[in-house]
Structure 1
Amino acid sequence: MLKKDRYREFVAYFSSHNPDAQTELNYSNPYELLVAVILSAQCTDKRINQVTPKLFERFPDANTLSFASPQEVFTYIKSVSYPNNKAKHLVGMAKMLIESFGGVIPSDVKELQKLPGVGRKTANVIASVIYDAPAMAVDTHVFRVANRIGLTSNATTPLAVEKQLVKFLPKDTLAIAHHWLILHGRYICLARKPKCELCPITYMCKYYERQFLSNKVSLNVIKESNG
């Protein structure tokens, strides 16, 4: 299957079967999403959703968070990964948001990355989810699934994966394609043992073709040679 055909099949399948894909992080406004995404780095969405209700109750907006101490924030997020660093980042982010951006979360990816705790992936998430910008956030799921399916080739860094996906995906699908890839990686295309037997898109997957169809051909050759 040619790459352009693989992209066409990918978009066609998920547009039909998961047209409303969205983040599994719970939030009610841009500020809450930004906090949740910062916290979600190297941590599960399930864990973040357990932590954020009390955190948002105590710090309902950037202004209140900007006056907090990292030590206090830590008490609310101590069960997530790297809580000390994230507590410092959250307070620093809130202060800069108030002082440099008037409390308004910027829509530009480069501006977003000026905020403490906000890397390129987080910036792309905010830009695409909040502002519907044609941005592609690449986390471990997106990186793995895009390479396995064959949407990307020789892409050894998240930035390389991002550039290829942005180049070949229709612009109006970039935001939702991010969620398609994440959810597929989270529930089907697992890191250690992908559930290929349950996967509905094996017909377009290079990994499945290499791992299973090639083995099947080899077995048939052995059977034929043995009479």
Structure 2
Amino acid sequence: MSDSQPADPQTEHHARLIYERLLQYYGLPEWRDPLPAMDELVSTILSQNTNDTNRDLAFNRLRAAFSTWEAVRDAPAEAVMDAIRPAGLANQKGPRIQQVLRQITNERGSLDLDFLKGWDAEEARAWLLQFNGVGPKTAAIVLQFALGIPAFPVDTHVHRVSGRLGLRPAEMNAEQAHPHLAALFDPQTYGPAHLNLIRLGREICHARKPNCRACPLNDLCPSAQVGSD
């Protein structure tokens, strides 16, 4: 990413050791069934502040109610909000999704994001970030997992775990962590690194009580003594 600083060699080496250890422990992870980029964009907006189960339920209800994204775009707002209610914050997410669909139509003439595959990564990221409701994480997920453009998404788990592992400064927020972590990892490893850090955060490195003794990284983690029992 153009706004990232050169990676510190020692921290970059630390990141590589963490990546390799998690790969050995968890194996090579696979993204859930790949979606077209437009589907991934809507799905990721729905995922904000909810879990995967509720996201998928809302997404499937939306697709069952409307046969095309054009139909979602042009539908009454209440109908869209009702369809996505399981994801929570439907009164915010529904209008945001419809507004994004309208803006893309106005700019491109159709609801298809495959044109971004031919763009520079930073240009594609900036284009996605122009839309209200599309932040750095949402843009990075669409780029990395739907368009094949290297990007390192930072969700709550990745942000927490990367801080405990010493991969980022403690005061660095999630938005700042996107270019920072992207500079630490090899772009070819972005997907597996992201997914395995999430799994570690969900299963072991919990927010309130991390299970440090069970962690495969406890010898690499400067926070391992804190919160262990």
Question: What's the TM-score once normalised by structure 2's chain length?
Answer: 0.82
Q: How high is the sequence identity, in percent, across the aligned residues?
A: 24
Question: 1:83-108, CA deviations, whole angstroms, 9 ceiling, x for partnerless residues?
Answer: 10101011112222222222222631
Q: Distance in 2 between matches of 1:118 and 1:159?
A: 12
Question: 1:13-67, CA deviations, whole angstroms, 9 ceiling, x for partnerless residues?
Answer: 233344432445x664322221110011111112112222221122243212111
Say whether 1:14 aligns with 2:30.
no
- CA root-mean-square deviation: 2.2
Q: Which has the higher contact order (CA 8 A, sep 6+)?
A: 2
Contact in 1 for aligned 2:141/2:151 (Cα 8 Å): yes
Q: Aligned pairs, how many?
A: 211
**Aligned match of 1:218:** none
**Aligned match of 2:79:** 72
Counterpart of 2:131 (choices 89, 93, 115) is 115
Equivalent residue runs for 1:1-227 within 5 Å: 2-23=10-31, 28-101=35-108, 102-105=110-113, 107=116, 108-212=124-228
Structure 1 gap segments, 5+ residues each: 216-227
- Taking a change above 3 Å as real, the CA distance of residues 45 and 135 of structure 1, as seen in their structure-2 partners, is same
Question: Quick check: which has more Rg, 1 or 2?
Answer: 1
Question: What's the TM-score once normalised by structure 1's chain length?
Answer: 0.83
Kindly report structure 1 stretches of 4+ aligned residues shifted beyond 6 Å. none
Question: 1:120-160, CA deviations, whole angstroms, 9 ceiling, x for partnerless residues?
Answer: 21011101111222211212111101001111224421133
Contact in 1 for aligned 2:45/2:134 (Cα 8 Å): yes
Structure 2 gap segments, 5+ residues each: 1-9, 117-123
